[in-house]
Amino acid sequence: MSYWHQMYARRQKTERLELENGEARFESLMAKKLTDKDRSFAESLKSQFEESGKLSFKQIECVERMEQRYSPTSVLKREQWAQSYKEKYRPTALICAEYYITTSYFRDLALKIGTDENFIPTERQFEALTKNKYAKKAIKAATEPPMFPVGTLAKVRANYNLVSRRELHDQMGLVVENHASGLYASSTLLINGENIKLEDRCLKSATRRQNK
């Protein structure tokens, strides 16, 4: 064999296999309410099947996965999830979407959830978006009562890791607004005539003595 053929060996032709009851299976599949993307793919597979009556092993696997995805049991499960999402889980998804829109993670999914009220993520997408440790922090920040309600006094912690502005350390401030979003809830304080927004973990109660 020449050097050229050693370097650029011909790719072996993919083995084609019989698809049992292929015609009837494609007819049944195409009659279902497929998504535009799945219908386009199914039509492509059907066209290739009609040419020779055969498909590759991978293509047959795709057909089988689509049949499973659109089986009565799977369709019913998705319908039930869609109803549960609308009635129970969408507020949680919106909290996490608001956080993730500001990051590079789950951004496309977060944008769809946050901007399209008719969009329903899959159950798997919802679990991935809301069950990780960062999402749990965002949910906690959004759903728990504020640590420092509006109208209360709070003291800024003298901790450089939390508050980089040294002049704010140990300063007393009046809480004028609460912000329940992000990984940590935050509040706007009026300190020496200036409105300053700080995460609540940067603050401590002004009514009792606490360690810095």
Domain boundaries, the chain: 14-70, 88-140, 153-205
- Quick one: pLDDT at residue 212? 45
Would you state the CATH architecture of domain 153-205? Roll (2.30)
Task: Measure the CA–CA gap between 92 and 193, rounded to whole angstroms.
Answer: 36
What does the pLDDT read at residue 195? 97
Can you read off the two tokens belonging to residue 115?
């901007």
Instruction: Kindly state the DSSP code that residue 121 receives in the 8-state scheme.
Output: -
pLDDT confidence of residue 185: 94
List of residues 6+ apart from 188 with CB closer than 8 A: 175, 176, 177, 178, 179, 195, 196, 197
pTM for the whole structure = 0.73
Task: Please report the pLDDT score of residue 35 as a whole number.
Answer: 92
- Separation between Cα atoms, residue 57 and residue 39, nearest integer Å: 20
pLDDT at residue 155 in the model = 96
Question: What pLDDT was estimated at residue 3?
Answer: 53
For each of the chain's 212 residues, which pLDDT tens digit applies? 555 455 555 556 678 888 888 899 999 999 999 999 999 999 999 999 998 888 999 999 999 999 999 999 999 999 999 999 999 999 999 999 999 998 999 999 999 999 999 999 999 999 999 999 999 999 999 999 999 999 999 999 999 999 999 999 999 999 999 999 899 999 999 999 999 999 999 999 987 554 44
